[in-house]
Amino acid sequence: MNADSTEIIAIWIAEFCYAVAAALLVIGFAFKKERLIRYSFVAALVGLAPHSVAIIVRWVQAGHAPYIQFYEVILSDTWFGVAIFLGLVWRFPRLRPAGLLALPLTFVLLGIGVFSSTEIRALPPTFKTYWLILHILFAKLTYGSFLVAADLGLLYLLKERYLRRRGVVVKVNPHIAELAPEGGSVDGLLSESFYRRLPSLARMDELSYQFAVAGFLFCGTMIAAGAVWANNAWGEYWGWDPVETWSLVTWLIYGIFLHLRLQRGWKGSRSAWYVLGGLVVALLAFFVMPYIMDSVHAAYLGRSFQQ
């Protein structure tokens, strides 16, 4: 079996495992089957192994890390997203349902990547710099952090809706508190519910915020490292390239979120909806704009390099 076959087989095994993981998680969550949700975590963990093999084989074959052209970007970005999600669940087992976004999105993105061109391209001279490696590494950490922040925001909204429908008042300022109807208790209302396994609303809100902060810092570092690379490659730190601009827009959107959170007390459902919307912008900036707009980042999608 040659390296090409090994890579393709490994990535299809990973894709199958992620499909199983996503299906088990969605079905388990919809029908409140905790065992299926546990199995989904195992399936995702198993899928990460062949996914890692595919990345290593590609790295060896290409002679550089997998970050040139669309297929390689998707291959490595989805790996980071799953790895960060699994790390969260490993630390907080009660957050297994947090894959409601991460796992289906990974399955879809990786599938799109597999059906795109897998041609191996050599690095042009301008790409042979550690600044580019740092730029791309922090881009992947940014994506993974924003993805998990949005996952936690989604879980917050689902649990909050469940509680409100049962008469629980969710107080947001100055701290998030769950106030049960007179004569009852939150624990009692959750005793027969699937949501009893999830952390408190306050804990999920705080974790979502922490991952959003991490993503904001990673995004800022990504932009700074990219500016240094651009200056070395093209003689200017900033050229208002569409991808540069959209990365800046993404960073500013999360910067506004931090301001609203710290200065305006945005917590709870407003915070959750904001990070979900922020993820949409990040996905557009990372996976759509470089493809539909004329950009020096076109090389990541297998288009012609612009020197």
pLDDT tens figures, 29-39: 988 888 999 99
Strand, helix or coil for residue 178: strand
Task: Work out the mean pLDDT of the chain and round it to a whole number.
Answer: 89
Choice between 3 and 67, residue whose per-residue pLDDT is larger: 67
- The burial class, CB within 10 Å (0-12 / 13-18 / 19+), for 121 is middle
Token pair listed for 52: 């890692």
292 has a pLDDT exceeding 90 = no
Q: How many angstroms separate the CA atoms of 113 and 66, rounded?
A: 12
Token pair listed for 53: 């093999």
pLDDT tens figures, 89-145: 999 999 999 999 999 999 999 999 888 877 887 777 777 788 888 999 999 999 999
pTM: 0.91
301 has a pLDDT exceeding 60 = no
Q: How many angstroms separate the CA atoms of 36 and 59, rounded?
A: 34
Asked if the bond preceding 174 is cis, omega within 30° of 0, the reply is: yes
Residue 85 identity (one-letter amino acid) = F
Strand, helix or coil for residue 64: coil
pLDDT tens figures, 57-78: 999 998 888 888 888 989 999 9
